[in-house]
Amino acid sequence: MRLQNKVIIITGSCTGIGKAIAQRCVAEGARVVIHGLEKEWGEAVVAELGKDKAVLLIEDISNEGAPQRLVDMAVNTYGQLDAVVNNAAIVASSNIHTTDLDFLRKILEVNTIAPFALIKAALPHLRKQSGCVLNIGSVNAFSGEPNLMAYSISKGGLMTLTQNLGDTLFREDGVRVNQINPGWVLTENEAIRKREHGLADDWYKDLPNVYAPAGRIIWPAEIAAAAVYWLADECGPISGQIMTLEQYPFIGRNPPKDTSTIPVNTKSG
């Protein structure tokens, strides 16, 4: 019960990583504000967690005033706000040729600007509680897949925001700001997305070990387990930190160029 009596806003928590974090937070004693775009899914999450433990706001996080409405819901329902998890994000394929300015602005609005706006709206309440912020980034923040250019830019911006505010807000307001950068996670939306990219329905069952040394990719519950540390008081004075959650060393990795990664040409002459 490491989050006993804490009140936590978790954006994008009707599904995927956000839902798993909400489930784990409640299991650890917290009360949560569930947020997302999928009304039926959100209502199912609240029903699962219990209406005494969870409330729901269905709204695009980039709407004018949406961050303040999330904060107001938390405070008006539970009387306090201890933590914010900025998880909501648009994950959309694009490269320089397919990215126009309107598309890039929308990605940045949801993935980078909305987290800033929510932190700003929540800060007076987080200051009272000596609370914290956990931003959910991505390993794509470091450079990113070629077909996730706009998304990667947005997560790079979020990472800089985390480090900047992780220093400033902790010194000035006693509010910790940290970030976890998940690698490849098997969420409901990721399963759908890869099928849309032309992969088989069971694409996740037989992945090359260069991507999945464990024989599988990460489960949302495993990200949620890691999130609890950053939301709990046991995190102590740690702020402004970025933790990569992947099953291999991400920065500087140099996979072998042999038959374990490159198909063998068996044709002769």
pLDDT 10s digits, 202-242 = 888 888 888 899 999 999 999 999 999 999 999 999 999 99
pLDDT digits (tens, 9 = 90+) for 151-185: 999 999 999 999 999 999 999 999 999 999 999 99
Quote the CA–CA distance of 186 and 204 in Å, as a whole number.
Answer: 8
Known catalytic residue: 151? yes
Percent over 70 (pLDDT), the chain: 98
Spatial CB neighbours of 11, under 8 Å, sequence gap ≥ 6: 18, 35, 36, 61, 70, 84, 85, 86, 87, 88, 114, 115, 118
Compute the average pLDDT of residues 60-70.
97
Could you tell me if 165 and 123 are in contact, meaning their C-beta atoms sit under 8 angstroms apart? Answer: no
CA neighbor of 127 nearest in space, from 86, 75, 176, 162:
176
Q: Among all chains, which residue has been given the structure tokens 């933790």? A: 243
Residue of 78, 151, 204, 248 marked catalytic = 151
From residue 61, alpha-carbon distances to 12, 82, 112, 118, 233 in Å are 9, 19, 11, 9, 27
Q: What is the pLDDT of residue 195?
A: 77
DSSP 218-234: B-HHHHHHHHHHHHSGG
pTM: 0.92
